[in-house]
Amino acid sequence: MGWRTSISKKPTMTQSVSRHPEIAGKIDHTLLKPTLTRMELETLCREATEWQFATVCIPPCWVTDSVRLLNGTGVGTITVVGFPLGYAHSSVKAFEARRAIDDGASEIDLVVNLSRIKSGEWHSVESDIAETVRACATIPVKVIIETAYLTQEEKTAASLVSERAGAAFVKTSTGFATGVPASGATIEDIRHLRSILRPGTRIKASGGIRDLSTALAMIEAGADRLGTSSGVTILKGLSASGAY
């Protein structure tokens, strides 16, 4: 079991976590790079356990391993569906989600079909999301609308369509957008989403959250969850570089 043998079920909180308990429990400790190794996954899960993050967010192929590593720690395993482009057919996304849940995923982060959004085909967008939501039953679905590619009007419409289709969260970004000035979450986008969504629909800010001040600002703006690969650095009050 490796690192699991030296970690208690209730790990000791560090001074940083004690100062900022509102952050640790909101972080989805994320590692979605294409070269992810088993050793890196084990490190991610160990860090999530030690710092008591909400979840780890990892590729579908690693869900069963993550669930095993995190068993009994209180940290959940989430994975992505249709990642990172959202192009797959609705039935394929639904199948991918069901398989991830069968493997033990506790939440699903679904990439919206941006091509349909940019075409203004909102009925198709809603249907696409709703099929995965139905497949997930009681498992929460976070819909990634990829704000970096959208106009303000599209952000509004995509968020409201996601909500109507049954999304538990609207999520800003995959962190993989290219050719745009800001590929991740912005304070302005979080404030906007919070102003248009119902109180019960939560918001996940993801992409570009690499320091404590940004994390606190995202929460203040209305984010309920933070997707970042820099969770440990954030809680230590430092800054990090990287893509997510």
Q: Catalytic residue positions?
A: 109, 171, 204
Identify which of 141, 19, 7, 172 has the alpha carbon closest to the alpha carbon of residue 75. 7
HEC per residue, 145-205: CCHHHCCHHHHHHHHHHHHHCCCCEEECCCCCCCCCCCCCCCHHHHHHHHHHCCCCCEEEE
Peptide linkage before 60 cis (omega within 30 of 0): no
Give the chain's count of helices (H) and strands (E): 11, 8
CB 29 within 8 A of CB 206: no
φ, ψ of residue 170 to 5 degrees: the values are: -105, 125
